[in-house]
Amino acid sequence: MKKKLLIGFMFLVPLTVFSQKILTLKECYDKAMSATPIAGEREALSQISAVRDKNLTKSWLPTLDAGGSFLYNSSVIDMTDILGSLPIQGIGGLIKPLPHEQYKITLDINQLIYDGGAIKGARALEKADLKINEKQTEADLYKLRGQINGYYFSLLILDRQKELLQNYHELITKRITSLNSALASGVVLKSDIDVLSSEKIKLEQEMSENVIRKASLIKILSSLTGTEIDASTEFVLPATGEELSVELSRPELQMFDLRKKQLDAGLKVIQSKRIPKAAGFATLGYGNPPGSNFFKDEFAPYYILGASVRWNIFDWNKAKNEKQLISLQQSIIESRKSELTDNLERLLDAKSAEITSQKSLLESDEELITLRKRITAAAESQYENGTISATDFMNEMTAERQALINYEIHKINLALARIEYLNISGKEIE
């Protein structure tokens, strides 16, 4: 009778939980990156860069400037004194003195003809800035993965524990019912029922704690992903494959390469400063005297056309010094990239060792579960023959259950170590 009542404890097969919704780790990554306020920076940065680039292209358009002035000259040329001494009598009286006042209203038009590549270089520099800012945003978002991993895999462990606890609780409940029926006939002792009842209470405590912890983690994960996650959601153990690449593609490393390109673009802007610039200009005016016709004392329209060339022949080695600064900055960037690469490679080595350790634990777990099943079977036989108590037999059953739980935990930890390896290297998961 005891064998029939207790043999069910040996088979602790996890129950299949049917969930209303399946949520993968990749979906959590994507949802979190869309929900965080940092994600909105991407579009804003793109718009800012587009406006700046648009302004740079407008540098090729002509500039229009309106102006006006009034001048009073205390001393002007008086041609009557000069011409009055000539032999021709009366000619001096025909020429009026130059006016002391000058009035003019102008519209100045300037058109850039050749800028030595300055605008093109500035646009390239702006694009480089945009790519760096976008990559910085991506690096900030990448940090969210570590938080997501912690909560997601903790929920996976809680779900596995819950399956085993519910299965074990259901078996104990059924056996207590059976033992209560057999108690009246004297087949079992009341103490055996007490042992099972105490184990049931402990299971209920663990199940209650499991529910509370899961609710707390779900609340945090819901906040991070910006989506409603309920207790019925099923979390899937991600598959990563056996082969893990040592190649690094972290956004932080890519950002170093982009900074080097930014400095190269800045170098071209510096070089453009030493190239001659050419421009054309025109002035449309209305004044008294009109233009340079000082002998015409009346308001009249006039215009001026021209072209100019500017060439900074000597800048006191300013451009040379700026190039030297860029070279030093490139050396610093290369040094920091090398340092980060070394740190990431060390992290990969440590994580690889952790993966090997978890694999070893899983292998020993399988051996331990096999041994625990044999120990439980032997304990059952001993209990049936009356050589051990129900408490001793229950202890062996509890040890077998714990071995199964440890196996599930180590399996999940192995998957977590693989995911963290991918995150360190900068690889995407399926």
Sequence-distant (≥ 6) Cβ neighbours of residue 357 within 8 angstroms: none
Do residues 407 and 366 touch, judged by C-beta distance below 8 A? Answer: yes
Q: Is 224's pLDDT higher than 70? A: yes
Residue 180: Cβ within 10 Å count: 13
Span 372-430, pLDDT tens digits: 989 988 987 887 777 887 788 788 888 988 999 999 999 999 999 999 999 999 988 87
Residue-range domain boundaries for the chain:
2-328
9 or 218, which is more confident?
A: 218
Average pLDDT over residues 278-304: 88
CA distance linking residue 42 with residue 55, whole number of Å: 20
The mean pLDDT of the chain is: 86
Each residue's pLDDT tens digit, 125-141? 999 999 999 999 888 88
- Each residue of 108-122: pLDDT tens digit? 999 999 998 999 999
Residue 45 CB contacts under 8 Å (≥ 6 apart), including other chains = 130, 133, 134, 137
Answer whether residue 28 shows pLDDT above 80.
Answer: yes
**Local confidence band at 13 (pLDDT 50, 70, 90 cut-offs):** very low
Note the pTM of the prediction, 2 decimals.
0.79
Percent of the residues in the chain that have a pLDDT greater than 90, as a whole number: 52
Q: What does the pLDDT read at residue 260?
A: 93
The number of angstroms, rounded, from the C-alpha of 384 to the middle of its chain's C-alpha atoms is 62
- What would the pLDDT profile of 196-208 be if each residue is shown by its tens digit? 889 899 999 999 9
In 3-state terms, what secondary structure has residue 84?
coil
Average pLDDT over residues 7-29: 61
Instruction: Encode pLDDT of 29-61 as tens digits.
Output: 999 988 888 878 888 888 999 999 999 999 999
CATH class of 2-328: mainly alpha
Sheet containing 101-114: give its strands across.
63-72, 101-114, 277-288, 300-310
* Pair 224, 148: CB distance under 8 Å: yes
Segment among 7-21, 232-246, 320-334, 399-413 with least mean pLDDT? 7-21
Question: At 210, is the pLDDT very low, low, confident or very high (cuts 50, 70, 90)?
Answer: very high
Please give the full DSSP string across 191-221, using - where no structure is assigned. Answer: HHHHHHHHHHHHHHHHHHHHHHHHHHHHHHH
What is the per-residue pLDDT across 151-181, written as a single tens digit (0 to 9) for each? 999 999 999 999 888 888 887 888 788 778 7
pLDDT confidence tier of residue 1, bands split at 50, 70 and 90? very low
User: pLDDT band at 191, cuts 50/70/90?
Assistant: confident
pLDDT of residue 65: 93
Q: What is the pLDDT of residue 403?
A: 92
pLDDT at 70 over 80: yes
